[in-house]
Amino acid sequence: MSGESLRALLADCGEPAWRAEQILQATWQPYIEAFASMRQLPAALRDALDARLVFSTVSAAAEREADGGNTMKLLCRLRDGLTVETVAMESPARTAGRRRATVCVSTQVGCAVGCPFCATGRMGLSRSCTAAEIVDQVRLAARALHAHGLGPVTHVVYMGMGEPLANADATLESVHVLIDASSISPRRITISTSGVAPGIARLAGAAPGVTLAVSLHAATDELRDRLVPLNRAYPLARLLAAVREHAAATRRRPTFEWCLIAGVNDSLDQALALRRVAYDCRAHVNVIPMNRIEGSAWGPPDAATSRAFLEALQGIRVTVRDTRGGDVDAACGQLRAELEARRVLRPDGTLSAPRRIAVT
Protein backbone atom coordinates (compact mmCIF):
# COMPACT_ATOMS: atom_id res chain seq x y z
CA MET A 1 0.00 0.00 0.00
CA SER A 2 1.35 3.44 -0.86
CA GLY A 3 1.64 6.16 1.79
CA GLU A 4 -1.14 8.07 0.04
CA SER A 5 -3.73 5.29 0.25
CA LEU A 6 -2.75 4.56 3.84
CA ARG A 7 -3.27 8.22 4.80
CA ALA A 8 -6.73 8.11 3.20
CA LEU A 9 -7.61 4.98 5.16
CA LEU A 10 -6.40 6.54 8.42
CA ALA A 11 -8.51 9.64 7.82
CA ASP A 12 -11.45 7.29 7.40
CA CYS A 13 -10.65 5.74 10.80
CA GLY A 14 -10.41 9.22 12.39
CA GLU A 15 -6.64 8.88 12.93
CA PRO A 16 -4.06 11.64 12.31
CA ALA A 17 -2.08 11.47 9.04
CA TRP A 18 1.28 11.17 10.86
CA ARG A 19 0.33 7.66 11.90
CA ALA A 20 0.84 6.61 8.26
CA GLU A 21 4.61 7.07 8.50
CA GLN A 22 4.70 5.14 11.78
CA ILE A 23 2.70 2.24 10.29
CA LEU A 24 4.74 2.13 7.06
CA GLN A 25 7.96 1.98 9.07
CA ALA A 26 6.58 -0.80 11.25
CA THR A 27 5.41 -2.69 8.15
CA TRP A 28 9.01 -2.89 6.97
CA GLN A 29 10.47 -3.97 10.33
CA PRO A 30 11.57 -7.57 9.77
CA TYR A 31 10.70 -8.60 13.33
CA ILE A 32 7.07 -7.49 13.04
CA GLU A 33 4.94 -10.38 11.81
CA ALA A 34 1.39 -9.02 12.24
CA PHE A 35 -0.48 -5.79 13.01
CA ALA A 36 -0.94 -7.16 16.54
CA SER A 37 2.82 -6.81 17.19
CA MET A 38 2.88 -3.09 16.30
CA ARG A 39 3.06 -2.18 20.00
CA GLN A 40 3.71 1.48 19.18
CA LEU A 41 0.06 1.80 18.00
CA PRO A 42 -3.01 2.04 20.24
CA ALA A 43 -4.80 -1.32 20.56
CA ALA A 44 -7.95 0.00 18.86
CA LEU A 45 -5.97 1.07 15.79
CA ARG A 46 -4.19 -2.31 15.62
CA ASP A 47 -7.61 -3.98 15.64
CA ALA A 48 -8.94 -1.58 12.98
CA LEU A 49 -5.95 -2.30 10.71
CA ASP A 50 -6.40 -6.01 11.23
CA ALA A 51 -10.08 -5.79 10.29
CA ARG A 52 -9.50 -3.74 7.13
CA LEU A 53 -6.10 -4.78 5.75
CA VAL A 54 -4.16 -7.92 4.97
CA PHE A 55 -0.75 -7.84 6.70
CA SER A 56 0.84 -9.94 3.95
CA THR A 57 -0.51 -11.42 0.72
CA VAL A 58 2.18 -14.14 0.72
CA SER A 59 3.25 -16.77 3.24
CA ALA A 60 6.14 -19.25 3.25
CA ALA A 61 5.06 -22.70 2.01
CA ALA A 62 8.65 -24.02 2.10
CA GLU A 63 12.10 -22.69 2.86
CA ARG A 64 15.51 -24.03 1.86
CA GLU A 65 18.98 -22.91 2.78
CA ALA A 66 22.22 -23.12 0.81
CA ASP A 67 25.74 -21.67 0.88
CA GLY A 68 26.12 -22.34 4.58
CA GLY A 69 22.92 -20.42 5.34
CA ASN A 70 23.69 -17.35 3.18
CA THR A 71 21.13 -18.17 0.48
CA MET A 72 17.49 -18.85 1.25
CA LYS A 73 14.94 -19.99 -1.23
CA LEU A 74 11.30 -19.44 -0.28
CA LEU A 75 8.31 -20.99 -1.92
CA CYS A 76 5.66 -18.31 -1.42
CA ARG A 77 2.02 -19.28 -1.18
CA LEU A 78 -0.38 -16.65 -2.56
CA ARG A 79 -3.87 -16.28 -1.13
CA ASP A 80 -5.47 -18.38 -3.87
CA GLY A 81 -3.06 -21.25 -3.14
CA LEU A 82 -0.78 -20.73 -6.16
CA THR A 83 2.94 -20.56 -5.46
CA VAL A 84 5.93 -18.53 -6.66
CA GLU A 85 9.61 -18.56 -5.74
CA THR A 86 11.58 -15.86 -3.95
CA VAL A 87 15.32 -16.02 -3.21
CA ALA A 88 17.26 -14.06 -0.59
CA MET A 89 21.05 -13.95 -0.82
CA GLU A 90 23.49 -12.35 1.59
CA SER A 91 26.91 -11.50 0.11
CA PRO A 92 30.05 -10.80 2.10
CA ALA A 93 31.12 -7.18 2.41
CA ARG A 94 33.05 -5.86 -0.59
CA THR A 95 34.12 -2.95 1.57
CA ALA A 96 34.07 -2.91 5.36
CA GLY A 97 30.60 -2.70 6.85
CA ARG A 98 28.85 -2.87 3.48
CA ARG A 99 27.29 -6.29 3.26
CA ARG A 100 24.65 -6.66 0.61
CA ALA A 101 21.48 -8.68 0.83
CA THR A 102 19.65 -9.21 -2.45
CA VAL A 103 16.08 -10.41 -2.82
CA CYS A 104 14.98 -11.93 -6.14
CA VAL A 105 11.21 -11.63 -6.70
CA SER A 106 8.72 -13.31 -9.03
CA THR A 107 6.24 -11.21 -11.03
CA GLN A 108 4.05 -13.97 -12.49
CA VAL A 109 2.92 -17.48 -11.56
CA GLY A 110 4.72 -19.27 -14.41
CA CYS A 111 5.57 -17.52 -17.67
CA ALA A 112 4.12 -17.42 -21.19
CA VAL A 113 7.41 -16.67 -22.98
CA GLY A 114 8.53 -20.31 -22.93
CA CYS A 115 12.33 -20.14 -23.14
CA PRO A 116 13.41 -23.79 -23.52
CA PHE A 117 16.26 -23.64 -20.94
CA CYS A 118 14.03 -22.21 -18.18
CA ALA A 119 12.04 -24.28 -15.66
CA THR A 120 9.41 -21.51 -15.33
CA GLY A 121 8.94 -21.39 -19.10
CA ARG A 122 7.88 -25.03 -19.03
CA MET A 123 5.03 -24.31 -16.59
CA GLY A 124 3.15 -21.93 -18.85
CA LEU A 125 1.38 -18.92 -17.30
CA SER A 126 -1.25 -19.33 -14.55
CA ARG A 127 -1.66 -15.62 -13.74
CA SER A 128 0.22 -12.42 -13.04
CA CYS A 129 1.14 -11.32 -9.51
CA THR A 130 -0.37 -8.18 -8.00
CA ALA A 131 1.88 -5.30 -6.90
CA ALA A 132 1.17 -6.28 -3.27
CA GLU A 133 2.30 -9.87 -3.91
CA ILE A 134 5.58 -8.59 -5.40
CA VAL A 135 6.25 -6.15 -2.52
CA ASP A 136 5.22 -8.75 0.08
CA GLN A 137 7.82 -11.20 -1.29
CA VAL A 138 10.48 -8.62 -0.37
CA ARG A 139 8.98 -8.21 3.14
CA LEU A 140 8.75 -11.98 3.65
CA ALA A 141 12.36 -12.42 2.49
CA ALA A 142 13.43 -9.59 4.84
CA ARG A 143 11.80 -11.46 7.74
CA ALA A 144 13.50 -14.73 6.68
CA LEU A 145 16.91 -13.01 6.48
CA HIS A 146 16.34 -11.41 9.88
CA ALA A 147 15.38 -14.78 11.42
CA HIS A 148 18.79 -16.08 10.26
CA GLY A 149 20.68 -13.08 11.67
CA LEU A 150 21.14 -11.61 8.15
CA GLY A 151 19.99 -8.51 6.26
CA PRO A 152 18.71 -5.81 5.97
CA VAL A 153 17.69 -6.00 2.30
CA THR A 154 19.85 -3.67 0.19
CA HIS A 155 19.04 -4.83 -3.38
CA VAL A 156 15.96 -6.17 -5.20
CA VAL A 157 16.17 -7.97 -8.56
CA TYR A 158 13.11 -8.83 -10.65
CA MET A 159 14.59 -12.10 -11.85
CA GLY A 160 12.33 -14.76 -10.37
CA MET A 161 9.43 -16.47 -12.12
CA GLY A 162 7.67 -14.57 -14.88
CA GLU A 163 8.25 -11.74 -17.33
CA PRO A 164 8.06 -8.42 -15.40
CA LEU A 165 7.22 -6.31 -18.45
CA ALA A 166 4.37 -8.64 -19.44
CA ASN A 167 2.93 -7.53 -16.07
CA ALA A 168 4.13 -3.95 -16.36
CA ASP A 169 1.37 -2.20 -14.32
CA ALA A 170 1.94 -4.32 -11.20
CA THR A 171 5.73 -4.34 -11.68
CA LEU A 172 5.92 -0.53 -11.89
CA GLU A 173 3.52 -0.07 -8.97
CA SER A 174 5.61 -2.43 -6.85
CA VAL A 175 8.78 -0.49 -7.75
CA HIS A 176 7.13 2.75 -6.67
CA VAL A 177 5.96 1.26 -3.37
CA LEU A 178 9.45 -0.18 -2.70
CA ILE A 179 11.07 3.19 -3.34
CA ASP A 180 8.42 5.10 -1.40
CA ALA A 181 7.94 2.87 1.62
CA SER A 182 11.18 0.89 2.13
CA SER A 183 14.69 2.30 2.34
CA ILE A 184 15.81 0.58 -0.90
CA SER A 185 17.19 3.06 -3.42
CA PRO A 186 16.06 2.85 -7.09
CA ARG A 187 19.64 2.26 -8.22
CA ARG A 188 19.64 -0.97 -6.26
CA ILE A 189 16.58 -2.29 -8.07
CA THR A 190 17.08 -4.27 -11.30
CA ILE A 191 14.32 -5.31 -13.68
CA SER A 192 15.17 -8.19 -15.99
CA THR A 193 13.21 -8.63 -19.22
CA SER A 194 13.32 -11.13 -22.03
CA GLY A 195 12.85 -8.18 -24.39
CA VAL A 196 9.40 -6.56 -24.29
CA ALA A 197 10.46 -3.49 -26.31
CA PRO A 198 7.42 -1.25 -25.56
CA GLY A 199 7.75 -2.11 -21.85
CA ILE A 200 11.39 -0.95 -21.89
CA ALA A 201 10.29 2.45 -23.22
CA ARG A 202 7.62 2.65 -20.50
CA LEU A 203 10.16 1.73 -17.82
CA ALA A 204 12.43 4.60 -18.89
CA GLY A 205 9.60 7.08 -18.29
CA ALA A 206 8.05 5.58 -15.16
CA ALA A 207 11.10 4.36 -13.22
CA PRO A 208 14.20 6.01 -14.71
CA GLY A 209 16.41 5.25 -11.71
CA VAL A 210 16.20 1.46 -11.86
CA THR A 211 18.67 -0.76 -13.70
CA LEU A 212 17.53 -2.50 -16.87
CA ALA A 213 18.76 -6.05 -17.51
CA VAL A 214 17.95 -7.69 -20.85
CA SER A 215 18.09 -11.46 -21.22
CA LEU A 216 19.83 -11.55 -24.58
CA HIS A 217 21.21 -15.14 -24.71
CA ALA A 218 21.71 -14.89 -28.49
CA ALA A 219 23.04 -12.09 -30.70
CA THR A 220 21.48 -13.23 -33.99
CA ASP A 221 17.73 -13.40 -34.69
CA GLU A 222 17.94 -16.96 -35.96
CA LEU A 223 19.27 -18.30 -32.65
CA ARG A 224 17.31 -15.90 -30.44
CA ASP A 225 14.01 -16.90 -32.06
CA ARG A 226 14.69 -20.38 -30.64
CA LEU A 227 16.08 -19.44 -27.22
CA VAL A 228 13.73 -16.55 -26.39
CA PRO A 229 10.55 -17.03 -28.47
CA LEU A 230 9.45 -13.43 -27.73
CA ASN A 231 12.16 -12.44 -30.22
CA ARG A 232 9.71 -13.22 -33.01
CA ALA A 233 7.53 -10.35 -31.79
CA TYR A 234 10.40 -7.96 -30.95
CA PRO A 235 13.46 -8.92 -33.02
CA LEU A 236 16.97 -7.78 -32.12
CA ALA A 237 16.98 -4.55 -34.14
CA ARG A 238 13.80 -3.34 -32.39
CA LEU A 239 14.95 -4.58 -28.96
CA LEU A 240 18.41 -3.01 -29.18
CA ALA A 241 16.93 0.31 -30.35
CA ALA A 242 14.70 0.26 -27.22
CA VAL A 243 17.75 -0.50 -25.03
CA ARG A 244 19.75 2.37 -26.55
CA GLU A 245 16.82 4.77 -26.09
CA HIS A 246 16.43 3.63 -22.47
CA ALA A 247 20.15 4.25 -21.84
CA ALA A 248 20.02 7.69 -23.47
CA ALA A 249 16.92 8.72 -21.50
CA THR A 250 18.04 7.40 -18.11
CA ARG A 251 21.86 7.67 -18.40
CA ARG A 252 21.99 4.21 -16.78
CA ARG A 253 24.22 1.45 -18.12
CA PRO A 254 22.13 -1.57 -19.20
CA THR A 255 23.05 -5.18 -18.45
CA PHE A 256 22.88 -8.02 -20.96
CA GLU A 257 22.34 -11.47 -19.48
CA TRP A 258 23.72 -14.48 -21.29
CA CYS A 259 22.83 -17.95 -20.05
CA LEU A 260 25.76 -19.94 -21.49
CA ILE A 261 24.60 -23.27 -22.93
CA ALA A 262 27.05 -25.86 -24.26
CA GLY A 263 26.85 -26.30 -28.03
CA VAL A 264 23.98 -23.80 -28.33
CA ASN A 265 25.19 -20.21 -27.74
CA ASP A 266 28.83 -20.68 -26.67
CA SER A 267 30.48 -20.30 -30.11
CA LEU A 268 33.09 -17.66 -30.91
CA ASP A 269 30.75 -16.24 -33.56
CA GLN A 270 28.09 -15.59 -30.92
CA ALA A 271 30.72 -14.15 -28.54
CA LEU A 272 31.92 -11.70 -31.20
CA ALA A 273 28.35 -10.72 -32.12
CA LEU A 274 27.60 -10.20 -28.40
CA ARG A 275 30.73 -8.07 -28.10
CA ARG A 276 29.55 -5.83 -30.95
CA VAL A 277 26.07 -5.24 -29.52
CA ALA A 278 27.37 -4.78 -25.96
CA TYR A 279 29.88 -2.21 -27.20
CA ASP A 280 27.18 -0.48 -29.20
CA CYS A 281 24.81 -0.24 -26.20
CA ARG A 282 27.64 0.40 -23.66
CA ALA A 283 26.21 -2.60 -21.82
CA HIS A 284 27.62 -4.64 -18.98
CA VAL A 285 27.47 -8.37 -19.74
CA ASN A 286 26.47 -10.97 -17.12
CA VAL A 287 27.39 -14.49 -18.17
CA ILE A 288 25.42 -17.17 -16.28
CA PRO A 289 26.55 -20.79 -16.78
CA MET A 290 23.29 -22.65 -17.44
CA ASN A 291 21.74 -24.38 -14.44
CA ARG A 292 20.60 -27.80 -15.58
CA ILE A 293 16.83 -28.33 -15.47
CA GLU A 294 14.75 -31.48 -15.34
CA GLY A 295 13.79 -32.78 -18.77
CA SER A 296 16.45 -30.89 -20.79
CA ALA A 297 19.71 -32.29 -22.09
CA TRP A 298 21.25 -28.80 -22.21
CA GLY A 299 23.87 -27.74 -19.69
CA PRO A 300 26.83 -25.41 -19.13
CA PRO A 301 29.95 -25.68 -21.34
CA ASP A 302 33.27 -27.04 -20.03
CA ALA A 303 35.86 -24.69 -18.53
CA ALA A 304 37.97 -24.34 -21.71
CA THR A 305 34.97 -23.37 -23.88
CA SER A 306 33.73 -20.89 -21.26
CA ARG A 307 37.19 -19.34 -21.04
CA ALA A 308 37.43 -18.97 -24.83
CA PHE A 309 33.95 -17.35 -24.91
CA LEU A 310 34.92 -14.88 -22.18
CA GLU A 311 38.27 -14.09 -23.81
CA ALA A 312 36.45 -13.17 -27.03
CA LEU A 313 34.54 -10.50 -25.05
CA GLN A 314 37.72 -8.48 -24.55
CA GLY A 315 37.11 -4.79 -23.95
CA ILE A 316 33.57 -5.34 -22.63
CA ARG A 317 32.63 -5.20 -18.94
CA VAL A 318 31.80 -8.80 -18.07
CA THR A 319 30.78 -10.51 -14.83
CA VAL A 320 30.48 -14.26 -14.59
CA ARG A 321 27.53 -14.76 -12.24
CA ASP A 322 28.18 -17.30 -9.57
CA THR A 323 25.62 -20.05 -9.50
CA ARG A 324 24.64 -19.79 -5.86
CA GLY A 325 21.79 -21.91 -4.70
CA GLY A 326 22.34 -24.52 -7.42
CA ASP A 327 22.42 -27.09 -4.65
CA VAL A 328 18.84 -26.15 -3.74
CA ASP A 329 17.54 -25.85 -7.30
CA ALA A 330 17.54 -22.08 -6.88
CA ALA A 331 17.41 -21.32 -10.59
CA CYS A 332 14.16 -19.76 -11.71
CA GLY A 333 11.20 -22.11 -11.25
CA GLN A 334 13.19 -25.15 -10.21
CA LEU A 335 12.12 -25.51 -6.58
CA ARG A 336 8.42 -25.46 -7.43
CA ALA A 337 8.94 -27.87 -10.34
CA GLU A 338 10.87 -30.28 -8.12
CA LEU A 339 8.39 -30.23 -5.23
CA GLU A 340 5.52 -30.82 -7.67
CA ALA A 341 7.37 -33.74 -9.24
CA ARG A 342 7.82 -35.28 -5.77
CA ARG A 343 4.13 -34.59 -5.09
CA VAL A 344 5.10 -32.69 -1.96
CA LEU A 345 3.31 -29.59 -3.21
CA ARG A 346 -0.47 -29.93 -3.33
CA PRO A 347 -2.45 -28.00 -5.97
CA ASP A 348 -3.71 -25.59 -3.28
CA GLY A 349 -0.15 -24.60 -2.39
CA THR A 350 0.11 -26.55 0.87
CA LEU A 351 2.86 -29.07 1.46
CA SER A 352 2.47 -32.69 2.37
CA ALA A 353 5.96 -32.71 3.97
CA PRO A 354 7.45 -30.79 6.92
CA ARG A 355 7.23 -27.05 6.30
CA ARG A 356 10.94 -26.50 6.46
CA ILE A 357 13.28 -28.57 4.33
CA ALA A 358 16.88 -28.01 5.40
CA VAL A 359 19.57 -28.77 2.86
CA THR A 360 23.14 -28.95 4.07
Give Cα 269 to chain centroid, integer Å.
30
Residue 13 is a catalytic residue? no
From 174, 193, 250, 255, residue interacting with ligand SAH (rule: CB under 6 A): 193
211 scored as a contact of ligand SAH (CB under 6 A):
no
Among 91, 88, 90, smallest CA distance to 76 is for: 88
- Residue 181 identity (one-letter amino acid): A
From 194, 211, 250, 291, residue interacting with ligand SF4 (rule: CB under 6 A): 194
Residue 85 is a catalytic residue? yes
From 130, 194, 231, 265, residue interacting with ligand SAH (rule: CB under 6 A): 194
Residues ≥6 apart with Cβ < 8 Å to 335: 62, 64, 73, 75, 85, 328, 329
From 35, 117, 234, 256, residue interacting with ligand SAH (rule: CB under 6 A): 117
How many Cβ atoms from other residues are within 10 Å of residue 232's Cβ?
A: 11
Q: Is the peptide bond before 152 cis (omega within 30 degrees of 0)?
A: yes
Q: Between 56 and 193, whose beta carbon lies closer to ligand SAH?
A: 193
From 163, 207, 265, 283, residue interacting with ligand SAH (rule: CB under 6 A): 163
163 scored as a contact of ligand SF4 (CB under 6 A):
yes
How many Cβ atoms from other residues are within 10 Å of residue 284's Cβ?
A: 17
200 scored as a contact of ligand SF4 (CB under 6 A):
no
121 scored as a contact of ligand SF4 (CB under 6 A):
yes
Total site size for ligand SF4, rule CB under 6 A: 13
DSSP 35: G
Instruction: Considering the candidates 65, 85, 90, 257, report the single residue annotated as catalytic.
Output: 85
- Residue 10 identity (one-letter amino acid): L
* Rounded Cα gap, residues 36 and 199, in angstroms: 40
Q: Between 55 and 298, whose beta carbon lies closer to ligand SAH?
A: 298
3-state secondary structure (DSSP) of residue 237? helix
Pairing of β 100-104 and β 318-320:
unpaired
162 scored as a contact of ligand SF4 (CB under 6 A):
yes
Q: How many DSSP H helices and E strands does the chain contain?
A: 11, 12
What residue ranges bind ligand SF4 (CB under 6 A)?
A: 111, 113-115, 118, 120-121, 161-163, 194, 215, 332
What residue ranges bind ligand SAH (CB under 6 A)?
A: 117-118, 159, 163, 192-194, 215, 257, 259, 288, 290-291, 293, 331-332
